[in-house]
Amino acid sequence: MRTVRTLCILLAAAAVLCVCLIFGEKADAFLAPVLQQLQSEAAAQHAAGEFSVWYLWGVLADALGPLPAFAGLPVLGWCMCCGEGRHLLARSRLKRPARFFVGAVLITAGCIAAGCTVLGALTAGGLLSVGAFPRILWGIAAAAAVILWSMLSTRSTAQLQAGQALGGIWCVFSVVLLGIILLLQAFAPGGVSPSGHTAAAGTLAVLVLACALSEAFEDDEAAWLLAGFVFAAAAGFGRMLTQGCSLRDVCAALLAAALLLAVTAAVFALLLERRAKRSAKPKANG
């Protein structure tokens, strides 16, 4: 029942986004000059050394919008390292050294990608002055902290398996959604170019979806799904402030994320149903 409700919520969101996409051209004609003036005033305030929430919003959207797309790699890597890292602390040989080192590589790749993206956007926005090499060093330092944490933490096998599943789904979802956005940017009709930042921010909804489908969040799934889309919409609006995307671009990216989430929820529910049937067979035979 929860899965049906989740699908209804996602499809309703997709329907609303379709309407926004259809009438978005007229809205863009009205919003474009307003946002352009707002962006110009915000940039002038920043140049004069004054604080502007709109300028900050645009810079943070560039910096933090793509961040959720990289989060699946450290999550998956952390779960792979967590069970094996304790053997290093015990000064004994790793049972599965390849597993630990693959996890460490995933953590490092995710942290470096996230660090370069965030610090690069903050540098371009004038909030920081950080070169390329320090961005890589920041990512390596963050990766080292996560790897050390995985070596010190204790998690049950069930928790690690759940985390690996979530990290794997998150990574696959991010890659598939990116591929869809690139195809739409190349072949979308009507001059629509879906926002990559908004789509990347929408990958946060994978975590929200996993929470919504778990027992702990059963009663709050609508609120959690809304939270994921609000974050993505906030990133999209930040891109509109910087004149990087139009309203139709943001709606197209959110629509792609919503439809892919609906497919993910249906597949996830089907897998859970099959798993429940397999676990029920031995009990029935016994």
Classify the C-alpha dihedral 69-269-17-186 as positive or negative: positive
Token code pair at residue 21: 């996409």
Report the percentage of the chain scoring pLDDT > 90. 31
For residue range 54-74, list pLDDT tens digits in order.
999 999 999 999 999 998 899
Q: 15 or 280, which is more confident? A: 15
The reported pLDDT for the residue numbered 215 is 56
Model pLDDT, residue 221: 64
pLDDT in tens, 92-135: 666 677 888 899 999 999 999 999 999 999 998 888 888 889 99
Tokens of residue 57, six digits: 């919003």
Q: If you count them, how many residues does the chain have?
A: 286
pLDDT of residue 144: 96
Read out DSSP for 38-106? HHHHHHHHHHTT---HHHHHHHHHHHHTTHHHHTHHHHHHHHHHHHHHHHHHTTS--SSHHHHHHHHHH
Q: What value does the mean pLDDT take over residues 214-243?
A: 77
Greatest distance between any 2 Cα atoms in the chain: 77
Burial 84-112 (b: 16+ CB within 10 A, else e): bbbbeeeeeeeeeeeebeebbebbbbbbb
The conformation of residue 154, written as its DSSP 8-state character, comes to: -
Question: What are the angstrom distances between the C-alpha of 32 and each of 41, 103, 164, 211?
Answer: 14, 45, 43, 37
Residue that has been written with the tokens 């799934």 in this structure: 221
Q: What is the pTM of this model?
A: 0.83
